[in-house]
Amino acid sequence: MTPELKERIDSLVNQNKIMVFMKGTKLMPQCGFSNNVVQILNTLGIPFETVDILADQELRQGIKEYSNWPTIPQVYINGEFVGGSDVMIELYQNGELQQLVEVALAS
């Protein structure tokens, strides 16, 4: 990964309380896993930003190296990598996601 790409990802992750790297956009997810994450965050009624990795091949590969996580989508809350679709579903179902989000939005 180039230093420029790492800096770009750092900036996206740190400037947004909730950042989702996904296939498609929050208005038009391009895969079921990305759609799951968007639906969960929409259900919580919280603001979040997305980046369409399909539109940027360098970012698509770079984000996997950045997080050391092989799949998309990838969710960052308060600058910390949380996980992908399965992790978000689990955190949502057990109530932990709501707590993470409340802390992030309060800070």
Q: Is 31 annotated as a binding residue?
A: yes
**CA-based radius of gyration for the chain:** 13
> What is the spatial distance between Cα 4 and Cα 31, in angstroms, rounded to a whole number?
28
For 51, phi then psi, to 5°, come to -130, 130
Helix (H) and strand (E) counts in the chain: 5, 4
Task: Show binding-site residues.
Answer: 31
Annotated binding-site residue numbers for [2Fe-2S] cluster: 31
